[in-house]
């Protein structure tokens, strides 16, 4: 697997985490890869062969070749049909809402073709420009020009949502919403509504995903750490709490995760 990340333009760095590319040679027997929630929204362009996304054990759809993958709260499987070549934009949780007019909650747990978000003519033009670009730097220039134009049409990020997300990220998901809001219960319902509108999931769900991200990175990057230490460093109540959340978002236990050939792609993204 050939995976690379690239930093966004300064005018977009508060909304976009990174751009990334992935190339994988075609094999005779490609493995399914389990994709787990990471708290982000991604726009992706499939430049290689089609990719299957399984909707059940045996049923699948072909992912749109130019799409947005909304917030996910459950793991799912994908499987390449041949050569993998993908260019994608990874938005911060609050970032993508600044570029579209549709409610973000309508994008959750599915792939949405770009033409449903930006119109058929605009989406097709963007897709063709990305396909015809000579290299990743040209693709980044094309997508940044497109996004900067869209950004000028939209209002800025809602402060209460951004402040909450920044607090969740800075504390690795361990702080409570009440702590963030200083126990102002009147703001909690307002926050919940704005989160669903702008992020697509609740503050609590996002906090759980961010905390799991922190634990996953420890597991993958700090060899020899036992699960109890990882659980406490990630501020879970105990190891059982950590395992419960881990299974909820990945579908397997922490011990099953490490070395699982179906988790190779997700492991690559977290390292």
The string of pLDDT tens digits covering residues 36-72 is 888 899 999 999 999 999 999 999 999 999 999 998 8
Cα separation, 38 vs 45, whole angstroms? 19
Minimum mean pLDDT range among 73-77, 149-153, 179-183, 242-246? 179-183
Spatial CB neighbours of 59, under 8 Å, sequence gap ≥ 6: none
Go through the chain and tell me how many residues it has. 271
β-bridge pairing 51-54 and 60-62: antiparallel
Q: Is the pLDDT of residue 89 over 60?
A: yes
Token code pair at residue 215: 């634990």
| Interatomic CA distance for residues 140 and 146, integer angstroms | 10
Pull the structure tokens for residue 31: 């493995």
pTM of the model: 0.71
Mean per-residue pLDDT over the chain, rounded: 85
* Residue 201 banded pLDDT, cuts 50, 70, 90: confident
Which residue's entry shows tokens 């990175």? 217
Q: Which structural domains are found in the chain, ordered by start?
A: 2-151 (2.60.120.10)
> What is the DSSP track for 137-186?
HHHHHHHHHHHHHHHTTSPPPPHHHHHHHHHHHHTTT-S-HHHHTTT-HH
Residue 250 to residue 34: CA distance in whole angstroms = 8
pLDDT at 263 (0 to 100) = 67
How many other C-beta atoms can be found within 10 angstroms of the C-beta atom of residue 142?
16
Find, among 104, 98, 150, the residue nearest to 123 by Cα.
150
pLDDT value at residue 156: 47
Residues 85, 42: Cα–Cα separation, whole Å: 16
Q: 144 or 270: which carries more pLDDT confidence?
A: 144
């Amino acid at each position: 697997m050939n995976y690379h990340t690239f930093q966004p333009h300064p005018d977009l760095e508060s909304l976009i985490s990174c751009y990334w590319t992935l190339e994988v040679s075609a094999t005779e027997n490609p493995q399914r890869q389990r994709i787990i929630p990471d708290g982000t929204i991604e726009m992706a362009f499939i430049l290689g062969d089609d990719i299957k996304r399984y909707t059940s054990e045996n049923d699948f759809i072909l992912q749109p070749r130019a799409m947005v993958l909304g917030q996910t709260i459950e793991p799912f499987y994908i499987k390449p049909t041949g050569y993998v070549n993908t260019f994608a934009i990874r938005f911060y949780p609050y970032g993508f809402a600044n570029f579209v007019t549709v409610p973000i909650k309508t994008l959750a747990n599915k792939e949405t073709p770009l033409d449903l978000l930006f119109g058929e003519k605009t989406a097709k033009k963007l897709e063709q420009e990305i396909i015809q670009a000579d290299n990743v730097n040209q693709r980044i220039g094309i997508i940044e020009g497109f996004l900067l134009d869209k950004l000028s049409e939209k209002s800025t990020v809602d402060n209460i949502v951004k402040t909450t997300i920044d607090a969740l990220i800075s504390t690795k998901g361990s702080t409570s919403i009440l702590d963030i809001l200083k126990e102002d219960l009147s703001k909690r319902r307002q926050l919940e509504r704005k989160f669903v509108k702008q992020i697509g999931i609740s503050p609590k769900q996002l906090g759980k995903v961010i905390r799991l991200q922190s634990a996953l990175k420890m597991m993958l990057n700090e060899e020899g750490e036992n699960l109890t230490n990882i659980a406490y460093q990630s501020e879970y109540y105990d190891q059982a709490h950590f395992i419960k959340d881990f299974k909820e978002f990945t579908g397997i236990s922490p011990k099953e995760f490490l070395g699982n050939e179906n988790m190779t792609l997700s492991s690559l993204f977290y390292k």
